[in-house]
Structure 1
């Protein structure tokens, strides 16, 4: 957007504000997401990162892109197909956006393979790690690979012929397949085709025998292609090429269905056969095979991505996590015992004394698990109520809730079945919880329940006291080792009363209550944040201290963005730490000159949400589960809550200030819509993530915590999926 200069100096500010009202800059959500994934890819290019971490970042970009196509691109394609013509907030029609997404995605994927083949593979070679095609194998290595095919692969593979009586198979979403062009060995037979799926149940790569310290690997698809003759003995193999299909995987759920659990299960099955949205093939793909796939899949040319190979880079996450490569990874961060819980006291006594704040992954998630497991065993605990959005595969939280129910406590759990791509996992957990005697709620009609809250009701003498854990992240012990999140433990009576009101809304038919401290979406949160921004405007206009600092995963909501622009024009200084999508454009003359936006992408995924308002010199600090997106404010049950203890406020303020000074992992968004690394020239290196870890260690060491860290096992980002 171009803003014309005012014609007279006297009316300059007025003109600028008027032009801002006519059209405010808004970056497209999908394009902003691609810019985020580009920042992750930059970490794969960064030579100062250990080589296996670079490979891991590359795999993360591939995993991210898969989900982007399955959900976001599929959604835009659906709009185009339905002839939807409405212009979005960035000024694009669906077709214009789709054209731009195709172009930028093609460029991005080419950059991925440039990173792999020109930067990472040469670096691996220096570490004596190589991937060898069949043509480059020694005789011993080829024999080893062929034997592996005979003993392990051949019994698993199912060659699928495609002809008049055998239609093209329904291929699983994201599966890696090999298309084969054949001719019968007898003369005069026409060309025919077949498909062989590369089995995902086996490791994608195989280590070959080698001499000395060299490590040599090969890929399953290379072995299968080499041995295709064993699968099609009556045919000559004319050509073979790997391909990969991505399908529309956004669920369409009838939330008024009588059996919601069954409806979710039906929708999951539909996801596996959604319409194709992307076909990945090799650049050297045989032309007749290419035409065959286009015909069978009915896919359009813009949806075809020709790549240098290998296809599907996500397997490199597992490869980079091989124990033998640990010396080529980041030094593991071992979570310390939280200083707030270091005293040898009953956990409930510690929480009664004052509010406690735990910062993961620098401080161990074990204390959250201990809170639930202790409650499960405590004879004085009467009830436990908790929300679960995403949990790990072997969740100790689930085990503790089951134990609590078996011990006769009232256990109520909301398991959000609509947590995207975790639906099946959550269904399994929900069934286990129900079998143990827990009351299980499957979420609310029309809303996702995304708030992170656990309530323990305990009898203490003649009184009933409520203990709470309120978080910014999921109750997931795996992701808690690589996602930065805060958890507040409190026994404040007013917080406990608010928690009971919230659970009554979630589990029953209660009307939206008036909370004392909680800020809950979708009823109150949008209005709350808009009023807080307006209050800062009033403070600025009155010459009082004003300012807004926000740390979120995504900033998308147009109304809040407009409010921030208004605040900037009123002179409010605004600092935004937005890891992923940011549709706000900072630094635009007359619109957002007082707004700064940075994104931090590093060893840990920045996941916490923090909101600070200067409030005329009496700062208010809130944390919670909500990002500033329409879905969080209008279509989800979200929870944001105040930090009351001054000590904890100062701790969070210090973190925000540290991250705003980061010049190691931070990138700043400019008025041109592009991110650039924060300049470090002439400045001391500030690596906020490592500084926070050092601070956690100092706090822990200061109270002489010894011998409690041995049980913490380092975990890499790839072990908990994606960014």
Structure 2
């Protein structure tokens, strides 16, 4: 039996995450990926790293300031030790990022996409930039000099600034130029329209950097550079005290304003050797040298997503993934209503290969069906664009149906969007509830109740991902529809429990966190362990985004020792080290990073013929199993169960995007001797050929 304190087969969560983000960066280096898609992977890498520092590094920073000594239960490192290793690993990633960025810019130049610098502009371009600076940039600037009358300003999270060391006589002072948020991120340059149209642009920060001497014309500039501060964003929204008479929406808005002023955890700076500048910033930002990351390449690469609008048809064809429209086909015949189909058979949708519009059709059918009297659903992330789902729910309420929405206002970085959607739903007559203190509502479930022949029908949808039209075209997720009473009764109980802040309600078929999910999963793992000990074939096949929960890791390791064959497809963090002799030698782990974000969570226990299969909103992370409300739903339909299992086996065969986790915690490409196979391309062909 393995003791929980055994660190030989586990690794640190944060370092495992950095390895995942390195796999994202590797996609930017993969020449088999279309060029513009490689650029987007670079921007995604940067965005991921920003959020990692704001949340994970921010949280560790707070823990490092506490007097109590705490250890990570996988690597047994203190918060300070973890930060030290994170900073060292991140510096290596910055070097790799800069090399890849240089290669991408060279490839872009050949493809007629030119990011130009001031010293590379021709005379026409120079005049264009000069005129733009004088008329559009200069009037917006608010430069500062830091002295006794001008204290060091608050540098906002993730905004770019010009920092200059100014020399006056024998002393130095700091000059700061905030780059206005109202300006575009880049300026397209003029040029002749030719058949293979060139896209020429210059970043706004490069223009401002060039004119810094004129802005601080009264001083001699010793050094100038771009800087960007990343602040801790890990504010605990539950721990804030409510003021008298303050409702939850007001409380959330106030908490979000506080986030903007939390402590700096990272300083990004363009390559600069000024000791005065660095020392001054370290002192006033209260950060250490290890928290400074230098890069000669653009700090903020979000401008990459703007370039798509300038690509002509020929460039789109060569520089982007082939376009596809998610299939509107499913097992429901064109002339049949979904409710009529679901009375006889369950339905499974697979995003993004099948369209999210099929789910919206399900809701629309409920809105216009006079026999439907109630719609209940959870919303975690729904996006910031105009959401058809919100319109349909609002319409249902205005038509007199009982619409209840369990809205999670604390979905990280989507809080403001969700506040706006909640107000819109309330205004239309929907009942909006906000979950309970200390637990985020992360479950994905929708229940439609309908009167039919003097009885109530229950149509339940359970998913692995959010009800978000935009991400449904980018993330792989499963969506189950069923009219089974046993699932419907559990769904009714779930919404009643959430409305009464009851975390301890019983469910007959669905597994629910935070009270019973983990124990049930451990029991399912142990059942396979007992099968192996009895000499029978025993298999576990899992797919998730992350594995960090120590108790589940230990249960899997124990099952491995008993002879259970365990295969796991884990896109991101995996704190378990597989393949260690005598401990995890029967466990294999692969990660797939490709065109679509592998987001579905699927748990299979047993062989394909007799497997117990669940789809879930929960990763096997302690935050999900203990601190969130999650659901895992069993699959009863034999055909759907076999389909899910077989598609997992197809993912397992991916030799192009699949990476194998080795016992040392690193990832390796699969053997070149194996047949080349891309699982996502295979699914595209499968679902789109059914059109």
**Counterpart in the other structure of 2:145:** 161
Taking structure 1 as the reference length, what is the TM-score of the superposition?
0.90
CA 1:323–1:463 in structure 2 vs 1: closer, same or farther (change >3 Å)? Answer: farther
SS at match of 1:135: helix
SS at match of 2:331: helix
**Counterpart in the other structure of 1:326:** 316
Runs of 5+ consecutive residues of structure 2 not aligned to the other structure: none
- Please state how far the C-alpha of 1:21 moved relative to its aligned partner: 8.3
SS at match of 2:328: coil
Distance in 1, Cα, partners of 2:608 & 2:298: 57
- Please state how far the C-alpha of 1:232 moved relative to its aligned partner: 4.2
The answer as to whether partners of 1:280 and 1:311 remain within 8 angstroms in 2 is yes
Runs of 5+ consecutive residues of structure 1 not aligned to the other structure: 1-16, 702-723
**Counterpart in the other structure of 2:41:** 57
Distance in 2, Cα, partners of 1:515 & 1:298: 50
Segment of structure 1 superposing worse, 502-511 or 577-586: 502-511
1:179 aligns with 2:179: no
**Counterpart in the other structure of 2:282:** 294
Matched ranges for 1:138-287 at <5 A:
138-182=122-166, 188=169, 191-211=172-192, 212=194, 213-228=197-212, 231-232=215-216, 234-254=218-238, 257=242, 259-284=247-272, 286-287=274-275
Distance in 1, Cα, partners of 2:164 & 2:503: 61
Distance in 1, Cα, partners of 2:571 & 2:161: 35
- Please state how far the C-alpha of 1:137 moved relative to its aligned partner: 0.8
**Counterpart in the other structure of 1:720:** none
Taking structure 2 as the reference length, what is the TM-score of the superposition?
0.94
CA 1:239–1:86 in structure 2 vs 1: closer, same or farther (change >3 Å)? Answer: closer
The answer as to whether partners of 1:55 and 1:320 remain within 8 angstroms in 2 is no
The answer as to whether partners of 1:84 and 1:94 remain within 8 angstroms in 2 is no
CA 1:197–1:349 in structure 2 vs 1: closer, same or farther (change >3 Å)? Answer: same
**Counterpart in the other structure of 1:317:** 305
Distance in 2, Cα, partners of 1:320 & 1:51: 12
Segment of structure 1 superposing worse, 654-663 or 505-514: 505-514
Matched ranges for 1:376-395 at <5 A:
376-393=367-384, 394-395=386-387
Matched ranges for 1:150-549 at <5 A:
150-182=134-166, 188=169, 191-211=172-192, 212=194, 213-228=197-212, 231-232=215-216, 234-254=218-238, 257=242, 259-284=247-272, 286-320=274-308, 322-324=310-312, 325-327=315-317, 328-393=319-384, 394-510=386-502, 512-549=504-541
SS at match of 1:103: helix
User: Cα RMSD over matched residues?
Assistant: 2.0
SS at match of 1:203: coil
Q: What do residues 640-685 of structure 1 show as CA deviations (whole Å, max 9, x unaligned)?
A: 011111110111011111011110100000111110011131x321
Q: What do residues 562-599 of structure 1 show as CA deviations (whole Å, max 9, x unaligned)?
A: 00011000000000000000001100010011000000
SS at match of 2:559: helix
- Please state how far the C-alpha of 1:196 moved relative to its aligned partner: 1.4
SS at match of 1:343: coil
- Please state how far the C-alpha of 1:321 moved relative to its aligned partner: 6.0
CA 1:124–1:510 in structure 2 vs 1: closer, same or farther (change >3 Å)? Answer: closer
Distance in 2, Cα, partners of 1:19 & 1:450: 31
1:573 aligns with 2:554: no
Distance in 2, Cα, partners of 1:239 & 1:112: 24
CA 1:616–1:282 in structure 2 vs 1: closer, same or farther (change >3 Å)? Answer: closer
**Counterpart in the other structure of 2:645:** 653
CA 1:138–1:510 in structure 2 vs 1: closer, same or farther (change >3 Å)? Answer: closer
- Please state how far the C-alpha of 1:409 moved relative to its aligned partner: 1.0
The answer as to whether partners of 1:20 and 1:590 remain within 8 angstroms in 2 is no
Distance in 2, Cα, partners of 1:279 & 1:349: 58
The answer as to whether partners of 2:271 and 2:294 remain within 8 angstroms in 1 is yes
- Please state how far the C-alpha of 1:432 moved relative to its aligned partner: 1.1
Matched ranges for 1:676-691 at <5 A:
676-681=668-673, 683-691=674-682
**Counterpart in the other structure of 1:721:** none
**Counterpart in the other structure of 1:591:** 583
Distance in 2, Cα, partners of 1:541 & 1:215: 65
Distance in 2, Cα, partners of 1:671 & 1:511: 38
Q: What do residues 517-561 of structure 1 show as CA deviations (whole Å, max 9, x unaligned)?
A: 111111210111000001001111112231000000001111111
